[in-house]
Amino acid sequence: MDKRLLVLVFPVGVLVAMLGVFIYSKLNPVTVAEWADENDPVLAKLLALNPGMKAVPTDDDLPFYWIRSPVTANKVMVPWSEAQNAKVEISECDLSAIPVSHLYPHRTETECVEIDNDTHHLHALYFRTRDDERAVVDFYNLMLEPDRRIPMGRIPDSWKEAERREDKTHKLIFSYRLFRRADMTAFVGYQEEKKQPPRPDAH
C-alpha cells in the first residue's frame, strides 16, 4: 500500500473507531450502580442496602458521594467515612427538632439525613449556603470554648472537616464536612447514638 495512502487511512480508521465508541456509550450508557459494581464496592453495597437510592456521578477526588434526595430531587452529600455498611434516610426536615445552635441561618437548601452504620446512628443536617467557609466555621465555633475553636487558614479550603466532642463523656457536639465549588455545601452531624462493638464469640 502506498505510504501516503496509509498515512491518510490510519487517522480515519482511528476517528471511525472513536466515533463508534462514543455512539455506543450514548446508546448504552452505564449507570452509576453498574459502574459501582465494577469499581467501588462501598458504593455498590450502599446502593444495595438502600433500595431506590439514586446516586449521582461524583468526581473521584471528592471524599463523598452525591445522592439524590427522594423528597426534593436535590443532590445530598454522603461522606465516604459514613457510607460503609450504611442505611441512609433523607427526609423533609422538622426544624423544630434540631437544636437552634446547629441550624446555620443562611441556608438556601436544607435536607435532613439519618445514617445507620456499624459505628453509630447519626442525625445530620445537609444544607447549601452562599456564605463562605469562614462564616460557617465561625457559627459552629460559637458552641465551643475559645481554646477548642477550629482555626481557619489564610486560604479557604475547597474541603474541610472537623469534629468536636465533650471532654469527659465524648458525646458529639457537632461534626461537619464542608465543600465549596460554586457555593458552600455542608453536612453537619448534630446527634448520634453510638453502637457497642460486637463481642467476640466465647469459646
Domain ranges of the chain: 55-194
Q: Which helix (H) or strand (E) holds 162?
A: strand 159-165
Burial class (CB in 10 A: 0-12, 13-18, 19+), 54: middle
Q: How far apart are CA 128 and CA 109, in angstroms?
A: 5
- Of 18-22, 33-37, 93-97, the least confident: 18-22
CA distance from start to end of the chain: 78
Contact 75, 66 (CB under 8 A): yes
Rounded to whole angstroms, the maximal C-alpha distance in the chain is: 83
Query: Residue 35: its pLDDT value, please?
Result: 86
Instruction: Name the residue among 146, 141, 181 with its Cα closest to residue 162.
Output: 141
Which residues neighbour 134 within 8 Å (Cβ) at sequence distance 6 or greater?
152, 156
For residue 60, name the pLDDT band (cuts at 50, 70, 90). Answer: confident
Q: Which helix (H) or strand (E) holds 191?
A: strand 184-194
Three-class secondary structure of residue 66 per DSSP: strand
* Residue 20 in this model has a pLDDT that exceeds 70: no
For residue 136, give the C-alpha cell. 460557617
**Looking at residues 49-78, what average pLDDT do you find?**
91
Q: What is the pLDDT of residues 92-131, one digit of tens each?
A: 999 999 999 999 999 999 999 999 999 999 999 999 999 9
Q: Which helix (H) or strand (E) holds 83?
A: helix 80-83
For residue 31, give the C-alpha cell. 449507570
Query: Residue 154: its pLDDT value, please?
Result: 67
Burial class (CB in 10 A: 0-12, 13-18, 19+), 176: buried
For residue 4, name the pLDDT band (cuts at 50, 70, 90). Answer: low
Which residues neighbour 133 within 8 Å (Cβ) at sequence distance 6 or greater?
152, 156, 157, 160, 178, 180, 184
* Residue 25 in this model has a pLDDT that exceeds 60: no
Residue type, 67: I
Query: Residue 152: its pLDDT value, please?
Result: 82
